[in-house]
Structure 1
Amino acid sequence: MADNNEIKVKSLQKALEILNLFTVKPVLGVTEISEYFGIYKSTVHNILSTLKAMEYLEQDEETGKYRLGIQVFTLSKALGDTYSITKIATPYLQELSNQTRERVYLAVPYRSEVLYLDSMYPADSVELMRSILGERAQMYCTGIGKAMLANMNERTIEEYLATHELKAFTENSITDKEEFRQELLRIRQRGYAIDDMEHEFGIKCVAMPIFDRNRNVYAAISISGLAHHFTSEHIAEWAILLKKYISRIENRL
């Protein structure tokens, strides 16, 4: 969240707020944006025209509406490149995906959320692949988030629980804070986290943290896929694979 005390250029703030709106709705017109923010259409048009000229937005010639442009992707790639772990982990993520036949994700803790840096699909997958770079998710209802949070210190965990409402995404989401504390304890004891359709119905995952040389949580990897693929045997087998590949990544950090 922005610190309003640090915002000095209000016009720039509004331009970025408009740009951020495209993460909620991918295609927008001048009228929609004007009504959403309660500002003049002429102001919106000027901001959109500038963002278009800078290639942060593209405009559909037929409808006149706007969508995100190539420069946003360029920035996202630059963000990923700032995390050295992405380059280290990428070949291991691909091997892990090929062996498990499932999607594999890499993420880091960002403030109190999960920030995804990379994803891999099996090499011969026919699925439509999409970049997940820059997407964020809640910690408490994702395997990758729970794996990281469970291995942080108790003060961090208690601060998180004190400032976050555990809202239900599905009927499997853990919304009771004491139950969630017990879940984190189970994760620490067995060494990996499981998302049992807690964020998205029909999707399960198994995840494990990556530690830096000081044994602080640096990132995490998850194996994710359709729930019926995640039998107890597969989960146990994939946890062993995760540990093996994470050990290789940690040795290179």
Structure 2
Amino acid sequence: MEEEKKTVRAVERALDILLVFTTGSEWSLTELAAKCGLHKSTVHRLLATLEEKGFVIRDDATDKYRLGLRVLELSAHFARSDDPTVVLIGEMEKLRDQMGETVSLYIRDRLERVRIQAVQSRQAIRRVAQVGIRLPLSVGASSKVLLAFEESNTREALLSDPAWPAGLRSPSYAKQLDEVVAAGYATSFEEREPGAAAVAAPIFSRSGKLVAALAVSGPSNRLTPDVMEERASAIIGAATRMGALLD
């Protein structure tokens, strides 16, 4: 049993190293050790195995590591028929052209939301959406959507989680989520950062499962509350069409 625990722990540490590459393309041994909170000797051993298997490559000139071709080989076999990042990109581009603003897809991962796809606005001044970024589930239009349209028992469990902000456990916040469900969309105006605004709607698959939040974001001087309200029906319609493409 002890040997099994050590083996599983080694796998966890190797995966932690690989996950660091979601935030940057090249890392030194020292940087990876710091990011993972591990000794350099431990990280060095794990990197040697990952390099042998082709998951990372060490650049001799910079002495930094980057992802190897084995990662691309794995992604090539990803099931793309129901992958929203692939299936919905065309509809996202249409919505971007219609709205003139950046369009993003978010999914929930515990108490965070993750941007899994984005189509950037062509405006000179725009919201630049980085794919893969994690944001708190406690703020933002997409967060409200991912909470409000979740199954009631899951929503209650999230709101009662010890890590959930105490100020957002009140009946008034739960009522706000109910209002989002009634309206079919959510908005945020300079909630997470000054000068930014967003409106979001849920994407449900044909089977009725909540798949993602569809968000249109931009500068708050363009996406004013009145403008977001005017555009909400078009965004809801786009989310409905996108859901019809997913099983």
Q: TM-score of the superposition, structure 2-length normalised?
A: 0.78
Show the counterpart of 1:106.
Answer: 105
- SS state at 1:230 partner: coil
**How far apart, in 1, do the equivalents of 2:223 and 2:201 lie?**
16
Query: Shift in Å at residue 83 of structure 1?
Result: 3.6
Look up the match of 1:30: 29
> What is aligned with 2:84?
85
RMSD between superposed Cα atoms in Å: 3.4
Residue by residue over 1:179-232, the C-alpha shift from the partner in whole angstroms, topping out at 9 and shown as x without a partner, is 421321221232211122333333211000012345442222000112222112
The offset of 1:7, in angstroms, is 8.1
Q: Is residue 2:187 matched to residue 1:188?
A: no
Q: 1:226 aligns with which of 214, 219, 222?
A: 219
Please identify, of 27-36 and 194-203, the stretch whose mean Cα deviation from structure 2 is larger.
27-36
What is the alpha-carbon distance in structure 1 between the residues aligned to residue 73 and residue 187 of structure 2?
33
Structure 2: 5+ residue stretches without partners: none
Letter of the structure 1 residue corresponding to residue 159 of structure 2: L
Question: Take 1:145 and 1:73, find their aligned partners in 2: how far apart are those partners?
Answer: 31
| Residues 115, 73 of structure 1: alpha-carbon distance in 2 compared, 3 angstrom cutoff | farther
User: 2:58, 2:242 → 1: CA distance?
Assistant: 42
| Worse-superposed segment, 28-37 or 222-231 | 28-37
Tell me if structure 1 keeps the 8 A contact 2:92–2:119: yes
Out of 158, 181, 201, the position equivalent to 2:194 is 201
In 1: Cα distance, 2:125 partner to 2:236 partner: 27
1:156 to 145, 154, 173: 154
8 Å contact kept, 1:94–1:122:
no
Q: Give me the whole-angstrom Cα distance separating, in 2, the residues matched to 1:91 and 1:25.
A: 27
1:19-70 CA deviation, whole Å, 9 max, x = no partner?
A: 23444676543344456644352x4323223333444334344441334455
Q: Are 1:211 and 2:204 counterparts?
A: yes
2 CA distance for matches of 1:7 and 1:22? 24
8 A Cα contact 1:98 1:121, kept in partner: no
Per-residue deviation at 1:82? 6.2
Q: 1:147 aligns with which of 145, 148, 155?
A: 145
Secondary structure of the residue aligned to 2:244 is helix
Give the share of equivalent positions with the same residue, in percent: 26
How far off is 1:127 after superposition? 7.3
Q: Match for 1:105: what amino acid?
A: S
Of 143-152 and 13-22, the range deviating more from structure 2: 13-22
2:102 and 2:129 in contact (8 A); partners too: no
8 Å CA contact retained: 2:106, 2:113: yes
TM-score after normalising by structure 1: 0.76
Which residue does 2:169 correspond to in 1? 177
Matches of 1:73 and 1:124, distance apart in 2? 32
